[in-house]
Amino acid sequence: MEDSLLLPLDHPMLETVSDDVSEFDGRIAELADTLLEVLDHEGGAALAAVQIGAPVRMVVADAVDHTGERQRVALVNPRITTRSEERATQHESCLSMPGYFIPVPRYALIEVAFETLEGETGTILAGGPLAVCLQQAIDLTNGILFIDRVAPLHRAQSDDISKTARRRAILH
């Protein structure tokens, strides 16, 4: 994979709500494979389909959960159904704005309802890094950027960083 398929953080598609998936055919499985390939190539922990220009509600993640077990998942139409009262702030990055880390408050434990690639329903309980990854990716399917979850000062700094990164990409 020579050229990155990732949209930059300032791309307008990332701020729109993605469409629900209603047809569970081979195309949805192909999209999941592509997402996982991009995730692996970019060295990321989570990715939403909209980040590669496919505005549908699908996310993939490959991260350790609260039990210490690595989870590699592809979730269709994910939605957070339960949130813990406890929150934690960690420095997050985003594959659409690589190399920059911003402190973002997130729920420590979440339950996510989703559909499988075959259209079956399921739930996953996520804590630890997996919870953070899934919250960020699910936010993207709702048109919410990780910088939208931070204080205005961090938002302004990240806007400047995004503009600088965009200019550097154009010059190279």
CATH number at residue 85: 3.90.45.10
Q: Hey, CA dihedral for 31, 10, 42, 144, is it positive or negative? A: negative
User: What is the average pLDDT across 106-124?
Assistant: 97
User: What is the average pLDDT across 2-7?
Assistant: 78
Query: Looking up tokens 């929150």, which residue turns up?
Result: 87
| Structural contact between residues 135 and 90, judged by C-beta atoms closer than 8 angstroms | no
Whole-model pTM over 0.75: yes
Residue 158 resides in a domain: yes
User: What is the average pLDDT across 60-89?
Assistant: 96
Q: Identify the band that residue 172 occupies on the pLDDT scale cut at 50, 70 and 90.
A: very low
CA geometry: angle 115, 119, 120, nearest 5 deg: 70
| Structural contact between residues 65 and 130, judged by C-beta atoms closer than 8 angstroms | yes
| pLDDT computed for residue 78 by the predictor | 98
Is the model more confident about 111 or about 9? 111
Residue 142 resides in a domain: yes
Residue 7 resides in a domain: no
Q: State how many domains the chain has.
A: 1
Residue 1 resides in a domain: no
Residue 4 resides in a domain: no
Residue 47 resides in a domain: yes
- The residue range of the domain holding 100 is 12-171
Residue 3 resides in a domain: no
